[in-house]
């Protein structure tokens, strides 16, 4: 029997069965196109996600043991690097996600940092000298900028950040991640220039490559291992992907609409961002405000407080990953409309209907989960809302319940409940992220699988703190 030619060498199976769905980098797609869509009555979904409903965690402060809260905000940054659906609504049906444009590139190339590059968007970059067209501008480069300009993004006169993706200014924590990675790029440029003498375009290209590859390394070895578990990551890297297959990087709706929304369960209502200072409301007037200059030193994030670093501080942990969301997320203060429209849980559940996602238990069967594990998850969901039954369970809800009662795979062969994604969620998230890298011939996994990071930049904590200046007192 003649073997099929042209199959991706990193993928063991080819599961795409819908002829009408042609995979493209600038479109969404399906990871399990052979599975039939599930449907749940919207009134049931609204009841599950309502204020004081079964998913309302109110102000419960139940933290993980191992996951820094900074990882969850970093996950939001990663999402903004690879996805943007600017066209779909809740009152439509998306049969073929290949018709839906992804406004971001699906590759993990930090285009949210670099924009279209120094030639197409020169206003993002320094001009003149050895770092002209190389270093990215920050508020420090605009002394007349209102607020704490030395600790803020570059802003236009109307207060809007001049950055590659405006969503990375929607709250103070995400804008400080954007700033930290811009500073890291500039630090990398300084280091390469000092070591090699490179200038101009050659320096820009090398600094961008080094910055992007270190970011990708941290994404796989810090973020994925924390959320999906080291055994899952090692299995995929060592044995290949089983379910995210194809020849081009693309974003599956099972990932973007369900699995990658795990972080909504892990965000606490309050976050401490400065040492010795009290926690701040995530949607309050200090951290919640975005799209304007930073004027309050309390909003400046000390990343040693939110991520593991060499300073070994007592850092903020994320909320446990379960079927509960912080109360504020079920009545978003910046959203107008009905109670259902203001509930992030309800919005996520309704999107599952819109995008014709398969039931969570069907996806679990497709990836070969132990039937006893599936039954355990179904029993948990029955406690959340018995009206759902055991068939066609919304994928997002299934993955949250799976994380709560099974949890993240540990190196010793056990599972740690509430610390990370269970087998289905971890498989989807890790296969997609690793697949996006392996299908990109500019990434470290696509271009040089023997590459290793510099020791001083080899963790996410080091990456975002290596160029962090001293913060002004509160």
Whether the Cβ atoms of residue 49 and residue 304 lie closer than 8 Å to each other: no
Q: Is residue 472 one of the residues assigned to a domain?
A: no
Residue-wise pLDDT tens digits, 199-219: 999 999 999 999 999 999 999
Q: Is residue 111 one of the residues assigned to a domain?
A: yes
What CATH number does the domain containing 132 carry? Answer: 1.10.640.10
What is the Cα gyration radius of the chain? 22
**pLDDT of 25:** 81
Q: Is residue 1 one of the residues assigned to a domain?
A: no
**pLDDT of 190:** 98
Rounded CA separation 134/130 (Å): 8
Rounded CA separation 346/50 (Å): 7
Q: How many domains is the chain built from? A: 1
Phi, psi for residue 371 in degrees, rounded to 5: -55, -30
Residue-wise pLDDT tens digits, 126-138: 999 999 999 999 9
Q: Is residue 229 one of the residues assigned to a domain?
A: yes
Q: Which residues of the chain have pLDDT under 50?
A: 1-20
**pLDDT of 133:** 98
Range of the domain at 298: 28-465
Q: Is residue 22 one of the residues assigned to a domain?
A: no
Q: Is residue 130 one of the residues assigned to a domain?
A: yes
What's the whole-model pTM score?
0.94
Q: Is residue 14 one of the residues assigned to a domain?
A: no
How far the first Cα of the chain sits from its last, in Å, is 71
**pLDDT of 3:** 39
Rounded CA separation 115/124 (Å): 8
Rounded CA separation 164/114 (Å): 6
**pLDDT of 204:** 98
Q: Is residue 116 one of the residues assigned to a domain?
A: yes
**pLDDT of 246:** 84
């Amino acid at each position: 029997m003649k073997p099929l030619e042209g199959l991706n060498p990193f993928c063991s199976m080819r599961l795409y069965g819908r002829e009408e769905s042609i995979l493209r980098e600038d479109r969404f797609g399906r990871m399990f196109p052979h599975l039939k869509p599930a449907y749940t009555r919207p009134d049931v979904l609204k009841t599950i996600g309502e204020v004081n409903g079964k998913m309302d965690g109110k102000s419960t402060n139940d933290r993980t043991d191992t996951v820094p809260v900074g990882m969850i905000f970093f996950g939001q940054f990663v999402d903004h690097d690879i996805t943007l659906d600017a066209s779909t609504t809740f009152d439509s049906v998306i049969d073929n996600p290949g018709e839906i444009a992804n406004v971001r590139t699906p590759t993990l190339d930090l285009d949210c940092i670099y924009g279209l590059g120094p030639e197409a968007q020169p206003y993002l970059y320094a001009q003149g000298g050895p770092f002209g067209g190389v270093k990215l501008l920050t508020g420090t480069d605009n002394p007349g900028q209102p607020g704490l300009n030395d600790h803020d993004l570059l802003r236009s006169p109307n207060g809007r950040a001049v950055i590659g993706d405006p969503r990375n200014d929607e709250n103070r924590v995400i804008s400080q991640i954007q700033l930290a990675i811009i500073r890291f790029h500039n630090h990398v440029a300084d280091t390469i220039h000092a070591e090699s003498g490179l200038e101009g375009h050659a320096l820009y290209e090398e600094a961008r490559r080094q910055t992007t590859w270190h970011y990708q390394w941290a994404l796989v070895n810090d973020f994925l291992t924390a959320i999906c578990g080291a055994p899952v990551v090692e299995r995929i890297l060592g044995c290949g992907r089983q379910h995210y297959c194809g020849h081009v990087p693309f974003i599956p709706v099972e990932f973007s609409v369900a699995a990658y929304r795990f972080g909504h369960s892990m965000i606490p209502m309050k976050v401490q961002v400065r040492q010795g200072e009290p926690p701040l409301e995530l949607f309050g007037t200090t951290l919640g405000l975005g799209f304007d200059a930073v004027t309050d030193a309390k909003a400046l994030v000390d990343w040693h407080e939110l991520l593991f670093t060499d300073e070994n501080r007592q850092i903020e942990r994320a909320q446990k990953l379960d079927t509960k969301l912080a109360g504020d997320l079920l009545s978003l203060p910046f959203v107008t409309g009905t109670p259902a429209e203001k509930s992030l849980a309800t919005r996520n559940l309704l999107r599952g209907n819109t995008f014709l996602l398969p039931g969570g238990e069907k996806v679990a069967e497709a990836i070969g989960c132990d039937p006893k594990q599936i039954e355990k998850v179904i029993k948990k969901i029955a406690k959340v809302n018995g009206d759902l039954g055991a068939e066609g369970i919304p994928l997002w809800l299934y993955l949250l319940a799976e994380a709560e009662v099974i949890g993240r795979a540990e190196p010793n062969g056990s599972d740690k409940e509430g610390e990370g994604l269970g087998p289905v969620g971890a498989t989807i998230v890790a296969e997609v992220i690793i697949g996006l890298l392996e299908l990109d011939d500019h990434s470290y996994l696509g271009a040089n699988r023997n590459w290793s990071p510099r020791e001083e930049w080899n963790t996410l904590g080091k990456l975002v703190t290596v160029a962090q200046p001293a913060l002004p007192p509160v």
